[in-house]
Amino acid sequence: MTNTSSPLSSPLANSLRSGPDDRGRFGIFGGRFVAETLMPLLLELDEAYRAAQADPEFRKELDYYLKDYVGRPSPLWFAQHLTEELGGAKVYFKREELNHTGSHKLNNVMGQILVARRMGKTRIVAETGAGQHGVATATVCALFGLKCTIYMGATDVERQKPNVFRMHLLGAEVKPVTAGAGTLKDAMNEAMRDWVANVADTYFLVGTVAGPHPYPEMVRDFQSVIGVEVKEQIMQAEGRLPDVIVAAIGGGSNAMGIFHQFLDDVDVKLIGVEAAGHGLDSGKTAASISRGRPGVLHGNRTYLLQDRHGQIEEAHSISAGLDYPGIGPEHSWLNDIGRAEYVGVTDEEALEAFQVCTRTEGIIPALECAHGLAHVMKIAPTMAKDQIIVLNVSGRGDKDIFTVAHHLGVKL
Amino acid sequence: MSRIQTRFAALKKEGRGALIPYLQACDPDYDTSLELLRAMPAAGADLIEVGVPFSDPSADGPTIQAAALRGLKAGATLGRVLEMVRAFRETDNETPIVLMGYLNPIDSYGPAEFCFEAAQAGVDGIIVVDMPTEEADLLDAHAREAGLDIISLVAPTTSNSRLFHVLREASGFVYYVSITGITGTNSASAADLEKALPRIREVTDLPVAVGFGISTPEQARTASRIGDAAVVASALIKTMAGTLDDGRATERTVPAVLKQLEGLAAAVRA
């Protein structure tokens, strides 16, 4: 495995990988729905990103950090014991939890921080849900000596204490957001308010494939290294492409990262797993595609959980990283054109999968990707033994042990 | 001529700028905000901006966020806001009303239906905070057909070349967001405005309203002289919030806001 290069997008004709268009749209989704104050900044960012894409030095620099700092490539692990237990398709794990900081988040953060540096920005703001993106952002700010402010919902600050402490250690200021339900949506609002008030020196480092153009495209490009590696690794291991790729979805960056390279391989089924919370029809869910409808929030048009008057509803999930009422616009488009399938997994199912993974493979997964695994546990037994599923294990679960203990009735 | 054009033309003759107070619809309840809306012209409002409550007002500061939540709790919907404007028009057919809000409730209502019904209700213009020029085609044609002005926002970050792009098809008036920030936080200085306004006037003959961060009579006076109008929002809402008892209106609520409005109007007219 020699390929650690970052696949920055280039236009492709007749390809599902050619989006977005020059208005930042994937079909009807995406766009740039922001206040005029921010619009010139988005145009400037777009220009800076195009320049970086075209600059071989940028790619070289990014590849260097991905390899020696992030620790790429991440392995593709054949989960033999889990496969045996499920008794069907072969299950592979893409081990993104082995990256530095313990999740896929650093792939994107590393790319964007290099763009921010090229733009001469000296202060970074970011939103975070589970804290994985916040930790990754605080990490690169420590590495490059940049000021860092992380907005995190007060509810999430409470349920993700280890990550809050890590961010503090890394020198970041963590601002709890009490508006709304105090989760990722509210943190996103607050980060945008900070950005609009500090446009001169501040870079808004978005953590997922959502937000105004060019963020969904840029974050996807930086994350698509995941899929590029999987393709090469599975060819080496099996001599063919997988039948199914499964990834959990909050905003959808780990899923876009593993899907993108396979969009034109139409025989590879792509499944995004949304958090169903207490159940898709419980009213306490985070399944934006399954239970939402298209609307405009946080700079893009996408599927949103909203009431019939267009007011955004609170999402619910046991996993702070999936607790968001929207989803990246490219996923909305992939859903509508039928290229990817989106399903829901409940809190309970995710907790069960979390334990199965830990017991059979000795890998403690983040609650986010436990949702993906729960779906794998549903479909693998129905598939033939020579079929292949790849699950993106996007993060490690150390941060979640308090939440899991609480739900299992264990006092730590 | 539209109500907006008529009003600005009349003020030009008077030789003064306009005062544009803001209220959030249904804050703290429908009846109180309608009572306030109806009383604003007599207290010195030349135009009125009516905020449409949205769950995620990401360009607004804490004061307007709280007002939006109170409005939503009191049952505000876009339909209810139009009802309120219709009720206002029963007694006032001259004061221009401009709705200010975010795109999703309009998108949810249906852009064509909304523009048609808003114009019918007596709305004159709309400001959609998260709809920059690049996305304005969503409403432009419908608004034009209905006779509604889409009020263009420009900011300190809007470059000279971009001003041409943003104001190419502007109508009604131009809303100058005078600070890079959220509502009700910092204020632009007179010197800032003296520098910014000529840039805008270079590309448009439309009146320019100055907003974001204007709270005192003195600031309103300055903004309405350097620009053509001063928008006061958070300061009035703060006053209103101070009169509420556990989120509910009291007998002090409407008089307190009107008294402050009269003070602002006196300064603008002095």
Residue A303 backbone dihedrals phi, psi, to 5 degrees: -70, 135
Q: Which residues pair with A76 in a beta bridge?
A: A94
B46 is catalytic: no
All domains in chain A, ordered by first residue = 25-69+105-219 (3.40.50.1100), 73-102+223-407 (3.40.50.1100)
Residues A298-326, mean pLDDT to the nearest whole number = 94
**How do residues B39-71 score in pLDDT, each as one tens digit?**
999 999 999 999 999 999 988 888 999 999 999
Residue of A nearest to B177 (CA): A37
Contacts of A41 in chain B (CB under 8 A): 157
Establish if A306 touches chain B: CB-CB under 8 angstroms: yes
Name the minimum distance, in Å, from the CA of B185 to any CA of chain A. 9
Residue A209 Cα to chain centre, angstroms? 7
Closest by Cβ to A297, choosing from B104, B133, B135: B104
Nearest to residue A111, comparing CAs of A231, A225, A188?
A225
Residue of B nearest to A310 (CA): B105
- pLDDT of amino acid A13: 63
Q: Residue window 198-237, chain A: list those with CB within 8 Å of chain B.
A: 198-200
**How do residues A232-269 score in pLDDT, each as one tens digit?**
999 999 999 999 999 999 999 999 999 999 999 999 99
- pLDDT of amino acid B184: 77
Residues A203-219, mean pLDDT to the nearest whole number = 97
Q: Residue window 180-239, chain B: list those with CB within 8 Å of chain A.
A: 180-182, 185-186
**How do residues B247-264 score in pLDDT, each as one tens digit?**
999 999 999 999 999 999
Nearest to residue A101, comparing CAs of A133, A76, A124?
A133
The answer on pLDDT for A6 being more than 70 is no
Q: Which residues of B58-72 are buried (b: 16+ CB within 10 A; e: fewer)?
A: bbbbebbbbbbbbbb
Q: Do A179 and B65 touch (CB under 8 A)?
A: yes
- pLDDT of amino acid A8: 55
Closest by Cβ to B158, choosing from A40, A180, A197: A40
Q: Do A189 and B58 touch (CB under 8 A)?
A: yes
Contacts of B59 in chain A (CB under 8 A): 35, 37, 192-193, 196
Residue A262 DSSP one-character state: G
Mutation test of the interface with chain A: which of B52, B54, B58, choosing the one with the most A Cβ atoms within 10 A? B58
B49 is catalytic: yes
Residues B237-245, mean pLDDT to the nearest whole number = 98
Euclidean distance between CA atoms A24 and B133, whole angstroms = 14
**How do residues A375-401 score in pLDDT, each as one tens digit?**
999 999 999 999 999 999 999 999 899
Q: Which residues pair with B22 in a beta bridge?
A: B49
**How do residues B74-102 score in pLDDT, each as one tens digit?**
999 999 999 999 999 999 999 999 999 99
Q: What percent of chain A has pLDDT over 70?
A: 97
Calculate the average pLDDT of chain A: 94
Contacts of A31 in chain B (CB under 8 A): 134-135
Establish if B118 touches chain A: CB-CB under 8 angstroms: no
Q: Which residues pair with A202 in a beta bridge?
A: A123
- pLDDT of amino acid A11: 52
Contacts of A310 in chain B (CB under 8 A): 54, 78, 104-109
**How do residues B130-154 score in pLDDT, each as one tens digit?**
999 999 999 999 999 999 999 999 9
The answer on pLDDT for A198 being more than 80 is yes
The answer on pLDDT for A134 being more than 90 is yes
All domains in chain B, ordered by first residue = 3-269 (3.20.20.70)
Q: Residue A296: which pLDDT band, with cuts at 50, 70 and 90?
A: very high
Q: Do B177 and A37 touch (CB under 8 A)?
A: yes
- pLDDT of amino acid A4: 46
User: Count of CB atoms within 10 A of residue B80's CB?
Assistant: 17
Number of Cβ pairs < 8 A linking chain A and chain B = 115
A105 is catalytic: yes
* pTM strictly above 0.90: yes
Euclidean distance between CA atoms B164 and B242, whole angstroms = 42
